[in-house]
Structure 1
Amino acid sequence: MDWQGVFASRMGRMKASEIRELLKLLDQPDVISFAGGIPDPGLFPTEAFREAFETIFAGSAAAALQYSVSEGYGPLRDWIAQDMARIGVPCTRDNILITSGSQQALDYLGKLLISPGDTALVGWPTYLGALGAFNAYEPRYDQLTPGGNRGAADFAAAARAAGGAVKFAYVSPDFANPTGETLSLREREGLLDLAEALDIPIIEDAAYLALRYRGEAIPPILNLDIARSGGIESARTLYCGTFSKTLSPGLRVGWVCGPKAVIARLVLMKQAADLHSATLNQMAIAEVAAAIYAPHTAMLRETYSARCAAMLSALKTHMPEGVRWSEPEGGMFVWLTLPKGLDAAVLLKRALETQRIAFVPGAAFYADGSGRDTLRLSFSCASPALIEDGMKRLGTVIREALVAA
């Protein structure tokens, strides 16, 4: 069988995730890994989930193990709606679809909005998983720089010249993966201005919103959008949330919040794809969120904040001249720009061979494969002492590479 001959053309756009491949290094005990943007498993609320599953099986086992509605478990959607109201987004359960992590939400939104040749506006760099989700629908990418000088007419003309239209802008406005950077209030308002001028939706990826360690909170884009439009049904922002960074990534529970007309279309996709997310998992998340979400996320912020501070301090101590890095106010990542002439992919090979440390080369996060002088570091799974050791090793590798260059 000539499988290559029968694969759809979209398969040419789909590539293995460099991050998923690097995660295999975590099985090597002598490697200090700053590669995976994953929560520390030692911080999972294991006991709370044990109690939740016991409660569910004691009283609602049949419902937990049965098929359910595609929109998602009602009490969980109610809890999310209440939490959305807390951040200035009044809505009801009918504005929410439960997905298998926010990654599935990105896939559904790509399927909903992109026709082959259409343009998606994304950051340079942007979240690798978003590129992976959108790639299957064969878009063209254009560089979105909030606060930049390009206007709507320029974006629209470039999209037409490529044979399509601008369909959406994708951003992670708080402590973005991979850069750790946060959009200012002015940049968020400017992005809304651009979206209104182009008459396109904004996909707001809020995966790290709960993990702010310092600085003043900035309203979500959907919050600002509702203030302009008068309500969620008139808004153009589609908010993607997840419990993966706060409660459990393994249970794969995320959500989309938006106008009912959009949710209804996404529900059809959910029905066609997997009928519904696992009912048992949704029920467990609902139990645990209702019981401990606020104190648990407070503990996460305290722990990760110390690790973030340790990494920034260690970088200042150990990096050679010419290395620059972001200083995030939350999230899990610090973004490094290397001195001119260094390639992070080459540096990774050297780092693994000589110092047994791992990170993610930055080119994976660029739609055009540029950014070879950048890399992403994650501090979420390392103690301050391990971070200090790892940054010392990384500084050694960079100095050696500079001498060799």
Structure 2
Amino acid sequence: MDWQNVLAARNGRMKASEIRELLKLLDQPDILSFAGGIPDPALFPTETFRDAMTEALSGPASGAALQYSVSEGYLPLRDWIAGRMAQIGIPCTAQDVLITSGSQQALDYLGKLMLDPGDTALVTWPAYMGALGAFNAYQPRYDRLDPKGNRTSADIAEAAQADGGRVKFAYLSADFANPTGETLDRAGREALLDLAEELDIAVIEDAAYQALRYDGEPVPPILALELARKGDLQECRTIYSGSFSKVLSPGLRVGWVVAARPVIQQLVLMKQAADLHSPTLNQIATNHVARAIFDDHVARLRTTYAARRDAMLSALARYMPEGVRFTKPEGGMFVWLTLPPGMDAAELLAQSLKTERVAFVPGRAFFADGSNGNTLRLSFSCANAAQIEEGMKRLGRLLSSVGARSEAPVAG
């Protein structure tokens, strides 16, 4: 059978994740990998999760952990999330919270909810490649989101209309963004809200790394700033997507959305159609662990990851050749490198794996138009100081070698 005859046209826009493929390299013990943006498994609260699972599966109520449940999610966990949101300036109730199978499912649902083919999604340049992958299935047109830029809302809307659609939402990770590690300041967040009001569009705030701040002053979430303007969550256009993946466990796939109830209600319908509900046992265990250790555990993560970030920034400063620029994140898991013009990070990766045995993520996949091939992402979350030192030394050696070859005079 020729399956192309029955597949929907939108499947042509779905591509394999470069990160998923690079994660396979972790099985090769001689590779120094700075590729996967994943938490260090040595820091997982394994014992606390074991206790939580045992408790959930013990006693007369144990059947509930293995049973079907409501699509909105486990109520005690949604209550805990509502309390946590209030602490960061977003008072809400459990009725304003939907549990998803990781924040990735939330991005997929939100793309499905809002995008018709040809509609415009405003995204940062670069943007999280998982978001682009989620939105691609719904056949959008992408335009560059730059809250502090010179383009007017009218220019953006006209460009969207010229392509036969309209602008539906702006998507960004405002804190320690994947892939750049950069944080949008308060003025930029306020400008984004102004732009969204002018365009009458939604704002999707991807807050996967929000808890992992190591230094600098915290910036209120975009939804908190909008709530301060409007005073009522039900009047807000910002949709907050959170996750336990980076702070407790990615494998349990527990994330959440906080938004105005008309949005939550539509997402619940999608949840019912897609998978009925996120795994009940995982939600119960996550609730137990969050209530028992969340603050202490996050404090431990911050201390550990901050030291690794500092080690990477120090090593980059020592080993990177002239012409290489890199970000200096205040949190998260990533440092973003911009190489001299003409260098291609994908070609560099292929060479690095052969000669230096260092892995990273080429930057082109993070750009909706496939541009900026002279960029790459490094993750410091799963490497110790010695591995970071050696890895950056090897990478610097490779970049110096490639740069020297490109500058060599041509014989003739």
Which interval holds the TM-score relative to the shorter structure?
Answer: over 0.9
For residues 176-235 of structure 1, give each alpha carbon's deviation from its aligned partner in whole angstroms, at most 9, with x where no partner exists.
000000000000000000000000010000000000000000000000011111111000
Alpha-carbon distance, 1:56 to partner: 0.9
> Mapping of 1:241-280 within 5 angstroms?
241-280=242-281
Correspondence for 2:375: 374
Give me the CA root mean square deviation: 0.5
CA distance in 1, matches of 2:404, 2:310: 29
**Residue 5 (structure 1) shift:** 1.3
Kindly state the Cα deviation for residue 146 of structure 1 after the two structures are TM-superposed.
2.2
- Structure 1 residue aligned with 2:48: 48
Alpha carbons 2:147, 2:195 under 8 Å: kept? no
Aligned-partner Cα distance in 2 for 1:348–1:71: 43
State the one-letter code of the partner of 1:383: N
Task: Please state whether the residue corresponding to 1:58 is helix, strand or coil.
Answer: coil
Residue in 1 aligned with 2:19? 19
After TM superposition, list the pairs within 5 Å mapping 1:109-148 onto structure 2: 109-148=110-149
| Superposition pairs of residues 6-405 of structure 1, within 5 angstroms | 6-59=6-59, 60-405=61-406
Normalised TM-score (structure 2) = 0.98
Distance 1:396 1:104 in 2: 40
Q: Return the offset for 1:27.
A: 0.4
Distance in 2 between the 1:255 and 1:136 partners?
21
Q: Which runs of 5+ in 2 are unaligned?
A: 407-412
In 2, Cα distance between the equivalents of 1:73 and 1:207?
A: 20
| % identical equivalent positions | 69
Deviations 1:280-330 (A, max 9, x none): 000000000000000000000000000000000000000000000000000
Cα distance in 2 for residues equivalent to 1:380 and 1:67: 36
In 1, Cα distance between the equivalents of 2:283 and 2:405?
A: 53
Cα distance, 1:112 vs. partner?
0.3
CA distance in 2: counterparts of 1:153 and 1:8, whole angstroms: 34
Deviation at 1:86, TM superposition (A): 0.3
Distance 2:167 2:403 in 1: 42
Q: CA deviation at 1:340?
A: 1.7
C-alpha contact 2:31 2:358 (8 A) present in aligned 1: yes
Once the two structures are superposed, residues 119-153 of structure 1 have per-residue CA deviations (whole angstroms, 9 ceiling, x without a partner) of 00001100000000000000000011121111110
In 2: Cα distance, 1:14 partner to 1:55 partner = 41
Q: Distance between the aligned counterparts of 2:184 and 2:49, measured in 1? A: 34
Task: Report the Cα distance in structure 1 between the residues aligned to 2:336 and 2:162, rounded to whole angstroms.
Answer: 34
Letter in 2 for 1:283: I
Looking at structure 1, the residues matched to 9 and 275 of structure 2 have their Cα atoms a distance apart, in angstroms, of: 23
Unaligned runs of 5+ in 1: none
Deviation digits for residues 2-53 of structure 1, max 9, x if unmatched? 1011110100100000010000000000000000000000000000001111
Q: Aligned partners of 2:378, 2:264: CA distance in 1, in Å?
A: 35
| TM-superposition CA deviations, 1:139-182 (whole Å, max 9, x none) | 00001112111111011000000000000000100000000000
Letter in 1 for 2:212: L
Give me the TM-score of the superposition, normalised by structure 1: 1.00
- Structure 2 CA distance for aligned equivalents of residues 200 and 341 of structure 1: 37
